[in-house]
A and B are shown apart, each in its own frame.
Chain A
Amino acid sequence: MINQRRCRSIGSIFLLSVLTGLLLFSPAVALAVQSQPPVQTEWWVWEIALFVFSFFLGIIAVIAGVGGGVLFVPIVSSFFPFHIDFVRGAGLLVALSGALSAGSPLLKKGLANLKLALSMALIASISSIAGAMVGLAMPENVVQLSLGATILGISVIMLLSKNSAYPEVTEPDTLSKILHIYGIYYDEQLKKDVSWQIHRTPVGILLFVVIGFMAGMFGLGAGWANVPVFNLVLGAPLRVSVATSIFVLSVNDTAAAWVYLHKGAVLPLIAVPSVAGMMLGTKIGARLLTKVHTRVVRKLVITLLAAAGLRALLKGFGI
């Protein structure tokens, strides 16, 4: 048993080491560090590198239980020669396409709740548009600085947050009663139906406004923030929180993506290999989920994320 655990830990560390090695020693890094236009490298080399990189990112994102979007922007903007405008545009599409492809089964199973999502997404999507407009108007060093600080904050949240599988909500608030936000789903772990209701709805809506703004500004998927708000603030069960977060993400990222499209910050040459690589990697990652030590990978990914955040911060300071 202990040997098996040790093997899984070693396997997990190996997997992440491969990715980190790929990051640090690839020709992409050497060029990105110089901040020069990549004239000496054929464009298709970057396309393949981006696809392969996104593929590995997709694998570890699933294993670590984090959204691909939040890893994509800080790491790709640090190690590839693309301007952060295009990386943020691609990051939004990575998060959006992941949410679109995952959304249908979650809605069919009743895990994602349409009414809960719509109530939070309406104002959040407007703030997401505002965030995208502010983000694209800010000077590059300010973007890097704020991105670095945000990513470091996300790393801390991910490290410290303790979700609650079945939070207890004794009395739903008035707004959630008016909006008929409650539900029931079949829990495969408990093998029974679980009813749920929520409280603190106005606080939740306000928090989603802030999350939407940040997601639009940095092109990040916002699962890292959506899930704790649904789960810990509103009191929705963890499975409902994760599933509904994906739905909200699809609405908010759509709104922000249009700002990036209008500002010319979406290049299919960067967005499509990222989306395809990430989606393929996510499928492989889901199969590997039981074979690697997820907690070890999660901690290593948080470390990697913190390193990328620190790098963005240093770039912002011109170091």
Chain B
Amino acid sequence: MKQQLHANRIQLTYATVLSWTSTLGIIFVVAGYLVYVFQLLPSTVSPSEVAMHWHLRAAELHKIVPVPSGWDWIYQLGRGDVLSYASVVYLSSVTMLCLAVIIPLFLKEKDMIYAVMTLLQVLVLVFAAAGIVSGGH
């Protein structure tokens, strides 16, 4: 029997968006890291300075060295460490992007249960990303 694909249109759309955004994310993460460790751009905190304190709790490390966290880096994208951090933020946003894309498709197919469920899922992730439900500052 010849293999037939059983994924529906919405699932295929999600898969295609996921494929592109995640590949881009991996490239972005590696590139950002290389820019940082090879000091191709100036950094807020050098790798050696971070390494001197990475045995401390996250909260303690942040009191000593101003490494990027949350969204406090957004206006300093020209710095190596910030660029590397931004790439990790992008990778953490990929699922949100993919889910957001399929909401209109569920609506178009009048599948209200999954349109609402996906919308709620995106909202949970957006609230987490905004720091509203994840203790951001």
Contact = CB atoms under 8 A, between A and B. Distances in A.
Contacts of A96: 91-92
A43 B47 contact: yes
Interface string B64-96: 000101100000000001001101110111111
B37 interface: yes
Contact of A85 (B14, B57, B134, B137): B57
Contacts of A191: 1
A146 to B, nearest CB: 16
Interface of chain A, helix or strand or loop or mixed?
helix
Contact of B22 (A83, A103, A119): A103
Contacts of A132: 134
Contacts of A108: 5, 7, 11-12, 15
Contact of A140 (B54, B57, B114): B57
Interface in A111-137: 112-115, 118-119, 121-122, 125-126, 129, 132-133, 136
Interface centre among B32, B36, B121 (most CB of A within 10 A): B121
A125 B129 CA distance: 13
Interface in A257-295: 257-259, 261-273, 275-276, 279
Nearest to A268: B84
Contacts of A39: 52
B137 A262 contact: yes
A114 B135 CA distance: 29
B70 A83 contact: no
Contact of A133 (B48, B94, B96, B134): B134
A101 B6 contact: no
Contacts of A268: 29, 32-33, 36, 81, 84-85, 87-88
A107 B99 CA distance: 13
Nearest to A272: B33
A42 B47 CA distance: 10
Given A103-B15, A107-B14, A110-B7, A38 B59 contact: no
A254 B14 contact: no
Contacts of B100: none
A125 B124 CA distance: 8
Interface in B107-137: 113-114, 117-118, 120-121, 124-125, 128-129, 131, 133-137
Chain A interface size range: 35 or more
A255 interface: yes
Interface in A58-105: 81-83, 85-86, 89, 93, 96-97, 100-101, 103-105
Contacts of B133: 126, 129
B55 A35 contact: yes
Interface in B1-17: 1, 3-7, 10-12, 14-16
Interface stretch (A7-15, A151-159, A180-188, A223-231): A180-188
Nearest to A114: B11
B91 A37 contact: no
Interface centre among B25, B58, B129 (most CB of A within 10 A): B58
A118 B114 contact: yes
Contacts of B125: 125, 251, 254-255, 258
A56 interface: no
B128 to A, nearest CB: 4
A262 B69 CA distance: 6
A209 to B, nearest CB: 13
B15 A83 contact: no
A250 interface: yes
Interface of B: 1, 3-7, 10-12, 14-16, 18-19, 22-23, 25-26, 29-30, 32-33, 36-37, 47-48, 50-59, 61-62, 67, 69-70, 81, 84-85, 87-89, 91-96, 99, 102, 113-114, 117-118, 120-121, 124-125, 128-129, 131, 133-137
Given A81-B54, A113-B11, 4 more contacts: A96-B91, A183-B6, A266-B69, A268-B87
6 contacts: A105-B15, A114-B102, A125-B124, A259-B128, A263-B135, A268-B81
The list of the 4 closest CB pairs from A to B, nearest first, reads A43-B51, A264-B69, A110-B6, A262-B136
